[in-house]
Amino acid sequence: MGSRTDAEQHDTRNPSSTVNTIGLAAVSAVVVLAALPGVAAAAIFSILAYELRRVRVRIWATWAAATAVLGIAAAGFSPITWLYWSTSFATRTWLSTVAESFPADSSGLRGWMRTHSDASILEVVGTQLGFGIPIGFTVTIVVIVAFRARPRALRGRIEGPEHSNMRPVGFLDRRRRAIERQKIADGYYTGA
């Protein structure tokens, strides 16, 4: 037998790799916020909405598809222009000097960036939301499937359907539960 406890003997984590992973995640988050604030905002708000009200993944997929169609329609039915919208914030803020230095006859993304380097902030917000909302909903689907679905399913098996991911639980379910608890407390089901 050794002098080390079981916890010390079985702890095989490498603390430096955890720090590297956290640092990489933090840098990635800053890059996404700096380049695609519309996507980040839509993803954050939709993940919070999912945590408050468990909506099924197919509903999120429907919303992502519908908002993508609306965004592409707003971009003049041009998926390429819609994809260019992802660069509107960076073009207007920290890449504006680079975008203005592109030749006047540039085409493609460089031409779009040169043309929109002096866009109004309202146009930037509109393009970021037009591109960001469907992508944010898609990110939410990935988060739900990858990180939240299995723990919620296990919790639902342990604590009941209220905590399950099998169906949404809303205010009507909470109201029905409160009414049933009140009936039980009042002796409604005693048969007397």
pLDDT tens over the chain, length 192 residues: 555 555 555 555 555 667 788 888 888 888 888 889 999 999 999 988 887 777 778 888 999 999 999 999 999 999 999 999 999 999 998 888 898 899 988 889 999 999 888 899 999 999 999 999 999 999 989 888 888 777 777 777 777 766 665 666 677 878 888 998 999 998 888 876
pLDDT score at 120: 93
CA–CA gap between residue 174 and residue 189 (Å, rounded):
20
104, 94 Cβ separation under 8 angstroms: no
pLDDT score at 129: 93
pLDDT score at 147: 80
pLDDT score at 20: 82
141, 42 Cβ separation under 8 angstroms: no
Q: Which two tokens stand for residue 117?
A: 């380097």
Angle between helices 15-35 and 37-52 (to 10 degrees): 110
